[in-house]
Amino acid sequence: MKPNLLEIAAFTLLGAALLLGLLRMVLGPKAPDRVVAADTLSVITAISIVALAYVTQNPLYLDVALVYAVLAFVAIVAIARAVEGNRS
Amino acid sequence: MRVVGDTLLVIGALFAFLGALGLVRMPDVYTRIQAGTKAVTLGALAFLLGLGFLHPGWWAKLTCIAGFILFTSPVSSSTIARALYISGVRPWQARSTPAADSDLDR
C-alpha cells in the first residue's frame, strides 16, 4: 500500500516519540527515571508495531503487538517489585 | 472513512509524542509517570480506533490490544509510583531549599 500524507505524519510523530523516550532513558539521572521511560516506551513500541502491521498490511503483527504488550507489562511490574526492595 | 481513520491516527500519534515530550520536560519522577501514562494511553487508544476505521476487518485484535493497554498501563504506572514511594523517593517541590533535597535536584 501507499501511505498518504497524514499517515506519514502520524508515523513520524511516533518515531519522534520513541526518540524522546529513548533520550530520557539515556540521560535519566537515576534508575527510577529509566524505569518510567521503559514503561512509556513499551506502550509506544506496541503502538508502533500496530502501525507496522498497517504499513505491511499483515495482521500477524497484531499478535506480535499483543504479546509484546503482555510481556512488557510483566517486565515492568517485576522491575517495580525489584526497585521496591526486599520488603517481605 | 479513510480521512476519519487518518485523522484519528494523527491525533493518537500526537498524544504519544506529547507524552514523550512531557517525559523529557517534567522535573520529577512522579510528574514523569503522570505525563507518560495518561497522554500515551489516550494516544494509544485513539491510534487503535483510527486503525479500526482504516481496517474494519481487524477489529477483534485491535479491541484486544486496546483493552489490554487500557487495563495494564495504569496498573503498571501505579505499581511503579508505589514502589518509588516505598523505596523513599520524595516528591519534587517547587520552593525547596537546595540542601534539603539535593538528591532530587535536577
Dihedral Cα A52, B73, A19, A21, nearest 10 deg: -170
pLDDT of residue B27: 86
Q: For cell 535536584, name the residue.
A: B105
Inter-helix orientation angle A5-26/A31-56, to 10°: 160
* Residue-level length of chain B: 106
Quick check: B47 and B16 in contact, CB under 8 A? yes
Q: Taking CB atoms and an 8 Å limit, are B69 and A46 in contact across chains?
A: yes
How big is the CA angle at B103 (ends B102 and B106), to the nearest 5 degrees?
A: 80
Domains of chain B, by residue range, sit at 2-87
- Judging contacts by C-beta atoms under 8 Å, the chain A residues touching residue B76 are 39, 73, 76-77, 80
Chain B: closest CA distance from residue A14 (Å): 5
Please tell me which of the candidates A40, A65, A87 has its beta carbon nearest to residue B65: A65
Structure ipTM over 0.85, yes or no: yes
Inter-helix orientation angle B29-54/A5-26, to 10°: 160
| pLDDT tens, position by position, B14-69 | 999 999 999 998 888 888 898 889 999 999 999 999 999 998 999 999 999 999 99
- Judging contacts by C-beta atoms under 8 Å, the chain A residues touching residue B72 are 69, 73
Across A34-51, average pLDDT: 92
Supply B36's cell numbers.
507518560
Q: Taking CB atoms and an 8 Å limit, are B32 and A33 in contact across chains?
A: yes
Phi, psi for A50 (deg, rounded to 5): -65, -40
pLDDT band at B97 (very low <50, low <70, confident <90, very high): low
Sign of torsion over alpha carbons B21, B14, B31, B86: negative
Across A54-82, average pLDDT: 91
- Judging contacts by C-beta atoms under 8 Å, the chain B residues touching residue A21 are 20, 23, 36
Quick check: B51 and A52 in contact, CB under 8 A? no
Inter-helix orientation angle B59-86/B29-54, to 10°: 180
